[in-house]
A and B are shown apart, each in its own frame.
Chain A
Amino acid sequence: AQRVTQPEKLLSVFKGAPVELKCNYSYSGSPELFWYVQYSRQRLQLLLRHISRESIKGFTADLNKGETSFHLKKPFAQEEDSAMYYCALMVSGGGADGLTFGKGTHLIIQP
């Protein structure tokens, strides 16, 4: 079965410092990877997906199939980036089958 691992439960960095949230997955096929974010008192929402190769709010994530990783990065953290971040994996092609989520990383940006 597929699995998503986020090794850090909590990550604290200072404002302006680079951020990297780690995500590793286990799946033998071709996965689709996503990052979801939950800001305080807001709903869990999609941040970005690997297939789009986009930068959202300064965040990027590259799928590394060799290392089975999909780390989320931002060069300069901002206080409003403080939130819970979840990496998610979708294994079936087409359709909208359920996502498998990691346990999440709580990112705290200190002023």
Chain B
Amino acid sequence: DAGVIQSPRHEVTEMGQEVTLRCKPISGHDYLFWYRQTMMRGLELLIYFNNNVPIDDSGMPEDRFSAKMPNASFSTLKIQPSEPRDSAVYFCASSLVRVAGELFFGEGSRLTVL
């Protein structure tokens, strides 16, 4: 298994543009998490899904952020419109419910909004 796969690895865009980040979890994993990492705030949990259903989105900063998981092998995190303060590394992670706390992370998507 190639592990959690995220795309794109790097994205540079201008303020106001729509950004879509993609994630393919490890096959068979029940949970999928989206985290954001910045120097100031560290790793923040944005939202997580269990069996494709969003469970807790209280970490999503504002309505400009949305996430979907249409099936067990794909999730997206969308920012519309993007702002410079959204610049960060966005991580996707997946896990199995019976191994609570063991998250498998992707390599991250580095977003720069100019």
Contacts and interface: CB of A to CB of B under 8 A. Distances in A.
Interface of A: 32, 34, 36, 43-46, 49, 86, 88, 90, 94-104
A100 B106 contact: no
A99 B33 CA distance: 9
A97 B35 CA distance: 13
A104 B40 CA distance: 11
A82 B41 CA distance: 22
B114 interface: no
Interface of B: 3, 30-31, 33, 35, 41-43, 45, 48, 50, 55-56, 59, 91, 93, 95-97, 99-107
A27 B1 CA distance: 36
B45 A44 contact: no
Given A44-B91, A90-B101, A96-B50, 13 more contacts: A32-B101, A43-B107, A44-B105, A46-B101, A86-B42, A90-B100, A94-B100, A96-B95, A96-B96, A97-B56, A99-B45, A101-B43, A102-B42
Contact of A98 (B56, B99, B102, B105): B56
Given A98-B33, A98-B45, A43 B106 contact: yes
A43 B3 CA distance: 10
A100 B56 CA distance: 13
B42 A98 contact: no
Nearest to B97: A96
A92 to B, nearest CB: 9
Given A44-B105, A94-B100, A103 B3 contact: no
